């Protein structure tokens, strides 16, 4: 059974704190993604990674950074948390397809982060 796990289901942090969200997948997938989900806005891509140590900015990278030191682990870092980063954060992974192929994304259960 494929699995994407996220380190916390719920997290409460204070403004200005450095926050780490961890994601681990056990499917040997090349691609990993971090999204944030807000009501009425769908899923917005923050960063993705297509290989170890590789990263690409998504649509809303400001205020975030990522780290991928091992294939199975992709971390999202909020350098200095702000209240507008209160959201649901979803991690996903997928196989790297060939040309013209997009793999199914497998999602973790999400981390609901509240910044006060």
Q: Which stretch binds another protein (CB under 8 A): 12-20, 36-44, 63-71, 72-80?
A: 36-44
CB closer to another protein, 39 vs 80:
39
Task: Write out the two tokens for 98.
Answer: 């060939």
Q: Of 1, 10, 28, 42, which lies in the binding site for another protein, with binding defined by CB under 8 A?
A: 42
Task: Write out the two tokens for 110.
Answer: 């999400």
Dihedral sign for Cα atoms in the order 98, 75, 26, 93: negative
If you count DSSP H runs as helices and E runs as strands, how many of each does the chain have, helices first? Answer: 0, 11
> What is the contact surface with another protein in residues (CB under 8 A)?
4, 31, 33, 40-45, 48, 50, 56, 58, 90, 92, 94, 96-97, 99-102, 104-105, 107-110
């Amino acid at each position: 059974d494929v699995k994407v796990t996220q380190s916390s289901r719920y997290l409460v942090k204070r403004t200005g704190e450095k926050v780490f969200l961890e994601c681990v997948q056990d499917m040997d997938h090349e691609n990993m993604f971090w999204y944030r989900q807000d009501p009425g806005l769908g899923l917005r891509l923050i960063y993705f990674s297509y290989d170890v140590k590789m990263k690409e900015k998504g649509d809303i990278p400001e205020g975030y950074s990522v780290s991928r030191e091992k294939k199975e682990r992709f971390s999202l870092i909020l350098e200095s948390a702000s209240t507008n980063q209160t959201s649901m954060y979803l991690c996903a992974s997928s196989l790297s397809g060939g040309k013209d192929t997009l793999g199914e994304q497998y999602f973790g259960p999400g981390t609901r982060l509240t910044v006060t």
